[in-house]
Structure 1
């Protein structure tokens, strides 16, 4: 989410399909405690017949690993510091960061509890990326003209890369 990135002005110069920050959800709306989030609801209500991916602290009922015991909706640290306690710190790994990584909003793409999708993603394939990147704008790029249902991550690293297009 380049719209959330502190480098938005620079990044939007290079990328098409980036939403206007005035039209993008506020970062606080991307947090887990937002009961109106359809993505989170869909993942939490995943059918028992579907495979469900569970975050290990949640599965172990180790809520205090991430949440303050006395106020369970609050985190012990803010994102991404909290996430980097267990997961790789992508902010120092890449020369160019994807917007949500740059903005420190892991929950823009990942559910912190359960998901029907691998890597605890909120949506699958292009559905996740087109939540922020307009498919219409993406398809205007000549390299994307015949992508069909190709997963964006087949070519792009979702966290960052060595070039501005975050190519694998």
Structure 2
């Protein structure tokens, strides 16, 4: 009877030597605290014990994070921090914000008689992110969401052909027709009729009435719901 414990012990040792995974299963059956192979694998993944594994994970995380950003400011991308920031006070910019921007951006393009309020006040940061953005053109918000922060009377554009607008200018619906900084034509990107003709092409009809209508200089003489606002 005393030989049975020894025999059992020998069987366990033999089975343990046959294969690592099976042996571990047998040991875990007889002895508490022996982790199963699957548990060891999970723990290894969790602990990232290999420095190579950590490097790969960090690289993938950085790549995934970078894919979120649609636009990056050149100084940020090139790490030219001193182009905008003071050496002794890195959290502040050099001169006034607009003057800092005009070190690279042509000031004449923002100096027309009709200027958008943020441009007139030198508040570039009101609409634009200084480093990077998940939107195009470093915009702080997408599409119309940015504009309705101030233009609250134009909130409901549900009848606007959004897909066509995005096809013409993917930066946003408003920018399909409007120049956001300054313009002589009431902040329009081009002459009024040309703006309309981006989407509204002449019909293939050569009747005098139709031709007279298309040749009329101002669409808004007849069409006043130019923003396609939903009627309440």
TM-score by length of structure 2 reads 0.45
Instruction: Report what 2:14 is aligned to.
Output: none
1:74-131 Cα offsets, whole Å, 9 max, x none, are 1111121110110122332x22001110110001111110111111111111011112
Cα separation, partners in 2 of 1:145 and 1:96, compared to 1, 3 Å: farther
Instruction: Report what 2:114 is aligned to.
Output: 96
- Which of the two has higher C-alpha Rg? 2
* Contact 1:110/1:120, CA 8 A, preserved across alignment: yes
Is 1:147 matched up with 2:160?
yes
Cα separation, partners in 2 of 1:145 and 1:116, compared to 1, 3 Å: closer
Partner Cα distance (2:77, 2:67) in 1: 18
The size of the alignment, in residue pairs, is 116
Cα separation, partners in 2 of 1:98 and 1:139, compared to 1, 3 Å: same
Instruction: Report what 2:187 is aligned to.
Output: 166
Is 1:78 matched up with 2:91?
no
Task: Name whichever structure is richer in strand by fraction.
Answer: 1
1:54-91 Cα offsets, whole Å, 9 max, x none, are 11111111111000011111111112111011012233
Partner Cα distance (1:102, 1:110) in 2: 15
Query: Which of 122, 126, 141 lines up with 1:108 in the alignment?
Result: 126
Could you tell me which runs of 5 or more consecutive residues in structure 2 were left unpaired when the two chains were aligned.
Answer: 1-63, 166-172, 190-232
Could you tell me which runs of 5 or more consecutive residues in structure 1 were left unpaired when the two chains were aligned.
Answer: 1-45
* Contact 1:139/1:145, CA 8 A, preserved across alignment: no
- Alignment partner of 2:90: what SS? strand
Task: Name whichever structure is richer in helix by fraction.
Answer: 2
Instruction: Report what 1:57 is aligned to.
Output: 75
- Alignment partner of 1:128: what SS? helix
TM-score by length of structure 1 reads 0.61
Of structures 1 and 2, the one scoring higher in RCO (CA 8 A, sep 6+) is 1
Cα separation, partners in 2 of 1:145 and 1:127, compared to 1, 3 Å: closer
Deviation at 1:154, TM superposition (A): 0.9
- Alignment partner of 2:91: what SS? strand
